Amino acid sequence: MAGDLVEQPSPVKPSTLAENVVKRRRKGKRESGAPGMLMYQTGGQSEIDFTLAGLEMLARVFDPPMSPRSPAREQSLLTSDPDLELLLNKISTVNHLLSSLEKKVLKSLKERASRHNLALPSLVAAPRRAAKPLAVQSFEVKVGKSQRAVLTVDVELGTVTITKKGSTSPEETIPQDRILQLIKYLSVQSKVRLVYDRELQKSLSRDFVFPSARKREAFCQLLQLMKIQHSNLDEPDLISVYVGTWNMGSTPPPRSLASWLTSRGLGHTQDETTACIPHDIYVVGTQENSLGDREWVEFLRTSLKTLMGIDYRVVALQCLWSIKMVVLVKPEHERRISHVHSSSVKTGIANTLGNKGAVGVSFLFNGTSFGFVNCHLASGSEKTQRRNQSYSDILRSLALGDKRLSAFDLTLRFTHLFWFGDLNYRLDMDVQDVLAHITKREFGTLLAVDQLNLEREKNKVFLRFSEGDISFPPTYRYERGSRDSYMWQKFKPTGVRINVPSWCDRILWKSHPETHVVCKSYGCTDDIVTSDHSPVFATFEVGVTSQFVPKKAPGSVPEALACIEWESIEVIIKPSSRSKCYIEFHSYCLEEAQWSGENTSQSCDSPGFLKLGWAAKNLPVLSPILPDLEYLGDQHLLLSVKGVESCESYGECCIAMRPMISSTAQQFETFLFHRGEETGSMRGWMKIQVPKGRRSTRERLYEWISFEEEDAEPVADTPVCPKPPPQCLRSRPHSLPEPAASYTNPAYFIFEGVPNTWVPAPSAGEAHEKQAESPEQGQQHWSPLRTRVPSPSEEEQWGGRSHCMPRGPSPGHPLSPPSLGQQKRPKSAVLARDTAGLGDCSLTALHMATCLSQLDQLSPEGRGDSQRTLLHQTHSTVELPPRPCRELPRPTQDAHQRGHPGEWSCDRGEQSRGVSKCLGHLGLQQEAKGLQERGWDHL
């Protein structure tokens, strides 16, 4: 039998047979019918019969005689071509026999091996493929004034080796568990201080200067990854998130997506030494994706497995026609993901077509909530308002997150919300000018006329969202197959349509206050050319909280619980009625929602706006589930102001509990949002008391890296571990001034700074002069609380971190903000844009009216003092109002001389000029004298 089998010719592959049959059939159709049929019978069937006979003979070796006919062969011939049907059935039988023989041969070999105690290495299941080990990375650095050294980072081994340049033996090897702190210098963009333990000396610090800030950032990232891999903590407190968006242009993707998935290309990209570090979460959003859902998911998983050596798990796939979003996580994080929700919204024609719209996915990663929205908005330079409306519709209709928070604005339901996609906002500039600026890489000029930036300045879309610095060229509309030129002309039956090159593809995010999120890269690819859009990527370093487990079992030891107490709350809103209101409190640290009583005070100082107040007796004392400081420091409170009669929400806000933990009341101040719009403001006093036995905390990994000025004192025996300064959200981008008629509804822009005073915007000439005075500083960005934020150039130098930059280590709690009383409230972008043109100044009037309405509150001793104080406030910084039941101290002469903030001194002429200027913007110059003599009642 064995000899007979050996003499049999090698079988022909079934796929090859099928291809031959199809070719012969096509050839037979081109010729006359009879010769073609004869070819089937003499060619195809003879090869099949020969192969089939050999397979049936081999099958008898492992099984008793069996009928060679499969169910397919036993079926009746229903077609008009019986010979072709018989041939196809024979091919099906060959496939059936091959698959069954494979199983029988494997089973027989296993039985023989077990009978003779043989080992079959080839049959043992292959171990699960682990992540690709990271190669050892070396960095050439300068130590001291002239000495050179090489820092070698071995992530797998967990060591950092210092070797003098030219030496063959290492000077020192530092294990990861002895590294206490990494301190980045603010004044030297490439300098870092390494603080570590020694056996003989308690601690030691050494400064290293890298060739560039990019190399320093790569070194810090490798050390963070080393800490994570060798950490003894059960749950991570720092993860990396990748977000990608790409309009695929209804064409299949290229064979490789390596540059997109590893954040390589143009813009702010990572150093090559860290580009292949796998991220914990991959979120990939596409538009105009013609691939099937499963096909696209498997393509992404295969691509990541090839690049990273990790078999990523699918958390969610949400699709709306050709709009798709895939969320993938590392296998070890699969058990940490819970409460997965997905939703979609159509915004096409009449909101019924899914060619435009959004898909969303939300989930919890341990104790941190994430939301992701991928959208495709209306195209065309003239459809800005349509895109704004679609954004609002998506906000209102996406059903994501905790159902108990469905009444809250979508942007407040998650710790971190990422919004990306083909937003389709264009550049308001002539196409030839745009091309000229792109050639010169003058992106700042183009960003000033970017429709998305302009609409954000008007507070119409993406309120309080952040975006990384754009340092890459517009991603649309390229010529397919190349990235050398833009195809800005589109020929249609109705004529030629101009598509100005624009940043249509964007990635933005919004996070709760006092949370850690840093954009590490933001750019686009330059080698994926199948679509007229370039893929865009962004990566983030995100702090997460664990499912907290108290060290003491609840109820094991009787002790005092933590409590949240309110002294007072003041709200300014624009309600639809004059009914009483109450406040609703939500938080994950509460067993259930809580409610306040009705407001105890109500006034209408400005037409259409209500000022509401709650005293302590009408505010609930909240009791968190757990009293531990480490747990409460990561929690947030969501507040909603609702009408008593209608239960309609007039605005919602989020308050971080971390800076409120104190034995004395702390002041908070925030904005109110509802359905994507800013609807008011809230401020007040509160305190969170924690029992003494529950005040222990641990240092987070993202607190392990801090910032310090160059002139700071070197670390002594015991290292001082400065905490990172508070994170500042990037301000809305500055744009060119527009005519006053460009903004429509003043209600869109109310309360950005109320009850702060109006501050006149500098003219374009003044702004240019200020810029010229300090060219080395560049453009300064300011956070919502007017804290300085690094300019785009600075963020690039410092590795893209969006931290503030104080003079030295931030004292106090690691993420607590500086005193609110020393910060300026935000000035509406609309003020800066519209007062220059002296157009509609409704918002200016609102600010002025609100300030002047507080005359009696700020200075009850005399009207004259009140007028002098507030009139000077109209062009100076204003302090937050005093705590309730406290008198405002009268400014002393010494205080005037010292010029302390919040204490005012001005002469009569300065008052007159300030009043005249304010009234001039309102068209009430003739009332200036009456206002000074008789006060606000005169107007």
Number of C-beta neighbours around residue 450 at 10 A: 23
* pLDDT tens readout for residues 585-632: 999 899 899 999 999 999 887 777 889 999 999 999 999 988 888 889
User: Rounded to the nearest 5°, which phi and psi values hold at 486?
Assistant: -100, 135
User: What residue spans of 63-203 are helical by DSSP H?
Assistant: 71-74, 82-115
> Tens of pLDDT along 877-929?
333 444 544 433 443 444 334 343 333 334 444 455 555 655 665 556 566 66
Beta strand 536-543 pairing with 238-247? antiparallel
CA distances from 666 to 194, 567, 587, 729 (A): 35, 9, 19, 22
pLDDT of residue 143: 92
Whose CA is closest to 605, among 853, 841, 843, 842? 853
Q: Is the pLDDT at 572 greater than 60, yes or no?
A: yes
Q: Which of 137-146, 230-239, 778-787, 797-806 has the highest mean pLDDT?
A: 137-146
pLDDT at 855 over 70: no
CA 834 to chain centre: 31
**Greater pLDDT, 785 or 426:** 426
CA 391-519-220 angle, 5° bins: 170
Q: Which two tokens stand for residue 178?
A: 């002895």
Determine contact, residues 377/391, Cβ cutoff 8 Å.
yes
Question: Rounded CA gap, 464 and 732, in Å?
Answer: 8
Give pLDDT, residue 669. 95
Structure tokens at 730: 């990037």
Is residue 64 packed enough to be buried (19+ CB in 10 Å), middle (13-18) or exposed (0-12)?
Answer: exposed
Stretch 145-164: mean pLDDT: 91
Q: How many CA atoms lie within 13 A of 64 on its CB side?
A: 0
Mean pLDDT of 107-122: 55
Partner residues linked to 418 by β-bridges: 372, 509
- For the ranges 143-152, 488-497, 861-870, the lowest mean pLDDT is seen at 861-870
Band (pLDDT 50/70/90 cuts) for residue 666 is very high
**Which residue(s) pair with 375 in the sheet?**
358, 421
**Overall pTM surpassing 0.85 (yes/no):** no
Which range, 35-44, 202-211, 261-270, 343-352, has the best average confidence (pLDDT)? 261-270
**For the ranges 300-314, 497-511, 572-586, 612-626, which has the lowest average pLDDT?**
572-586
509: amino acid identity, one letter: W
Give yes or no for a contact between 73 and 89, defined as CB atoms under 8 angstroms apart: yes
* DSSP-derived secondary structure letter, 499: -
Q: Name the nearest CA neighbour of 526 among 537, 516, 534.
A: 534
Backbone angles phi, psi at 331, to 5 degrees: -55, -35
Residue 259 sits at the vertex; the CA angle it makes with 257 and 261, to the nearest 5 degrees, is 65
* 742 burial type by CB count under 10 A (0-12 exposed, 13-18 middle, 19+ buried): middle
857 backbone dihedrals φ, ψ, rounded to 5°: -70, -40
C-alpha 294/C-alpha 283 separation (Å) is 16
Which of helix, strand or coil describes residue 514?
coil
Residue whose entry in the numeric block shows the structure tokens 């039985």: 111
Query: Which strands sit side by side in the sheet containing 466-467, from one edge to the other?
Result: 337-346, 357-365, 368-376, 416-422, 505-511, 466-467
Q: Tens of pLDDT along 402-426?
A: 988 988 999 999 999 999 999 999 9
Looking up tokens 């990422």 gives: 418
Q: Is the peptide bond before 477 cis (omega within 30 degrees of 0)?
A: yes
pLDDT at residue number 822: 34
- 325 beta partners: 285, 318
Query: pLDDT of 15-32, one tens digit each?
Result: 444 455 445 544 444 444
- Maximum separation of any 2 CA atoms in the chain, in Å: 122
Closest CA to 405 of 392, 418, 415: 415
Q: Measuring CA to CA, which residue among 346, 339, 222, 207 is closest to residue 272? A: 222
Whether the per-residue pLDDT at 447 is higher than 70: the answer is yes
Q: Please give the average per-residue pLDDT across 854-876, as a whole number.
A: 39
Sign of the four-CA dihedral 132, 136, 140, 142: positive
Query: What does the pLDDT average to over 38-42?
Result: 44
Q: Is the backbone peptide bond immediately before 11 cis, with ω within 30 degrees of 0?
A: no
Q: Are 478 and 487 in contact (CB under 8 A)?
A: yes
Question: How much is the pLDDT for 695?
Answer: 77
DSSP H stretches of helix in 427-547: 431-439, 443-447, 451-457
Whole-number pLDDT of residue 187: 81
Q: Please determine, for residue 102, whether its predicted confidence score (pLDDT) is greater than 80.
A: no
CB atoms within 10 A of CB 400: 22
Separation of alpha carbons 302 and 256, rounded Å: 10
Report pLDDT for 115: 55
Cα separation, 275 vs 302, in Å, equals 18
Beta bridge partners of 284: 244, 326
Q: Is-contact 344 352, C-beta < 8 A?
A: no
